[in-house]
Structure 1
Amino acid sequence: MNVNMKKNILMLTGLLTAFFFPNRCVFCGMTLKEGSCVCNGCLSGIELIKGPICAKCGAPLRAVGTPPAKSCEQCTDLPLDYNKNESLGIFTGKLRELIHLYKFKRRKSLSRVFSAMLLKHKKNYVVSHDVLMVMPLTGSKRNERGFNQSFRIAREISKKVPVMFYGDIIKRKGRSRPQSQIAARKERFSNVTDRFIVKERHTGDLRGKNILLFDDVLTTGATASACARSLYQYNVKNIDILTLARALKEPSMFNFNKKGR
């Protein structure tokens, strides 16, 4: 079989696959181009955080009938070691479904979708930092998922902005219970205390830098806070957090901007 015939067979196979098994939007079923799994119309329906947010964890503060405040009760009760977090949206609805598809169903093409959304809505926040890095993933989770979901998104972002990308230079030490199995906030904090270290070859590059740590979801801020502590010992200037979503116990109590694009 010559080269041209092989190319023709591959092309025909691709066309037949696209015809009989088209990519469709996971929400509305619209036929999409290859590699896509959500249409622009459904992306525009993702709920974005708007209005006043907690100066620390990024949770929206303006509940119906109450005036805005500077911080939420959660952050007042148990202070965090990083400066602040900003999230694209609340961990609910379509955003939650897409994150689950990305993490657990290996829809890796969503890394480009998420990075584009973050650059559209959070670019100024990103470029106000010197270094972009990601929260560490345990070895078992990496093996289970086959990839580090936060690393892929952050890497895509770093290609479009003048910010140094240090990737996953923070690593876990020892073993601890998965945070997802712990409900109590204080217990989540104690579970990750002194569990993170910085890879030695990068420690000299951190002095005086404004660091942006990226993760997919911020729940209590325990992991982010523990990672921040591991970085501050190397005389960094500031540590902020960027996340796709902020998990809340009662998301229906807060205001959103449903015009996501």
Structure 2
Amino acid sequence: MAGKYMDEPPHAHQADDLTRRPAGIAAEAPWRLQGWPAPCAVCSTWTREGLCQPCRTRFAGWKARCTTCGRPGVLRCGACLQHPTPQVACVVALDYQFPIDQLISRLKFQQAPEWAPLLGALLAQAVVRSGTHPPPDIVTAVPLSAQRLAQRGYNQSWLLAREVARRVGRPALPHLLQRWRHLDPLSGGANRQERGDLLQGAFLPTPAQRHTLTGRSVALVDDVMTTGATTRAAATALLEGGASQVHLWVLARTPAPDELP
């Protein structure tokens, strides 16, 4: 039986019903999708774009970042020079700080997938601004474990990937990778090395999709990057599955302690 969406298998989503009417603060979002004026997601000024121009400039403006890990301030950071990343390029749209973290939290934790178009548009804008041309052949997302998908009901990174792919004119394929290891949320406090050890073997390329991956460049989408261990493991799995190269597209990156004001 075909999946709910033409470009995904039946197991790609479980309770991902984007047609249901949202409740609470997310109830504003469907009006934005139809181009109606609605309060800015941050300051409540009327806008047709979800995020008004002053808030875009203040919180979602361009920032020089490392082209392979997204660290702000340099075009290639010392860490990437010393330890090259599996991805050939990295685009990060935003810093994971207030108020952007609140918007992502609505999408990720408050059962509000209708926020994906707004946040996906911000990521797509960053991708276009980065000058990546031509875009990678296909777009995919960091998969959730079966346990996490069952809890949340949808993969927020896939919703973002689908939005970005549509805006850059590339196909979105959600099932190129499978996640075989579930990490407890408490493991998020582990350092980079510990996270890397925990994630070894967590992702595997889907055997039936190796013909799709072989020789093709892939954009890997994730919602939030902290240590980079998750995206490193997923990018490595894509390369092991036959991808020619991996580009990392991340909505927001958590600043390291030395990057905070």
Identify whether the pair has TM-score above 0.5, normalized to the shorter chain: yes
Matches within 5 A, 1:1-261: 24-30=39-45, 39-51=52-64, 53-61=65-73, 68=74, 70-73=76-79, 75=80, 78-123=83-128, 124-125=131-132, 127-178=134-185, 180-250=187-257, 251-253=259-261
TM-score of the pair, normalised by structure 1: 0.74
After TM superposition, give the deviation of residue 218 of structure 1 in Å.
1.3
Q: Is the 8 A contact 2:149 2:155 kept in 1?
A: yes
Q: In 1, distance between residues paired with 2:224 and 2:177?
A: 17
Letter of the 2:69 counterpart = C
Structure 1 residues 187 and 46: alpha-carbon distance in aligned structure 2, compared to 1, 3 A threshold: same
Q: In 2, distance between residues paired with 1:77 and 1:70?
A: 10
Q: Is the 8 A contact 1:49 1:87 kept in 2?
A: no
Q: Is the 8 A contact 2:138 2:216 kept in 1?
A: yes
Q: Is there any run of 5+ residues in structure 2 with no aligned partner, and where?
A: 1-26, 29-37
Q: Is the 8 A contact 2:176 2:213 kept in 1?
A: no
After TM superposition, give the deviation of residue 55 of structure 1 in Å.
3.3
Tell which has more relative contact order, 1 or 2 (C-alpha 8 A, sep 6+).
1
1:83-124 Cα shifts (integer Å, max 9, x gaps): 232100111122111111111112322211112222223124
Structure 1 residues 153 and 71: alpha-carbon distance in aligned structure 2, compared to 1, 3 A threshold: same
Letter of the 1:27 counterpart = V
Q: Secondary structure at the match of 1:81?
A: coil
Q: How many positions carry a matched residue from both structures?
A: 224
Q: In 2, distance between residues paired with 1:47 and 1:116?
A: 11
After TM superposition, give the deviation of residue 31 of structure 1 in Å.
6.2
After TM superposition, give the deviation of residue 32 of structure 1 in Å.
7.1
Structure 2 match to 1:256: none
Q: Secondary structure at the match of 2:113?
A: coil
After TM superposition, give the deviation of residue 163 of structure 1 in Å.
1.4
Bigger CA radius of gyration? 1
Q: Is there any run of 5+ residues in structure 1 with no aligned partner, and where?
A: 1-16, 62-67, 254-261
Letter of the 1:118 counterpart = L
Alignment RMSD (CA, Å): 2.8
After TM superposition, give the deviation of residue 190 of structure 1 in Å.
0.4
Structure 1 residues 55 and 233: alpha-carbon distance in aligned structure 2, compared to 1, 3 A threshold: same
Letter of the 2:43 counterpart = C
Q: Secondary structure at the match of 2:172?
A: strand
Q: In 2, distance between residues paired with 1:97 and 1:181?
A: 18
Letter of the 1:50 counterpart = K
Q: Secondary structure at the match of 1:45?
A: helix
Structure 1 residues 96 and 76: alpha-carbon distance in aligned structure 2, compared to 1, 3 A threshold: same
Q: In 2, distance between residues paired with 1:172 and 1:127?
A: 29
After TM superposition, give the deviation of residue 215 of structure 1 in Å.
0.3
After TM superposition, give the deviation of residue 137 of structure 1 in Å.
0.9
TM-score of the pair, normalised by structure 2: 0.74
Letter of the 1:95 counterpart = I
Identity over aligned pairs, percent = 24
Structure 2 match to 1:10: none
Q: Is the 8 A contact 2:66 2:72 kept in 1?
A: yes
Letter of the 1:80 counterpart = T
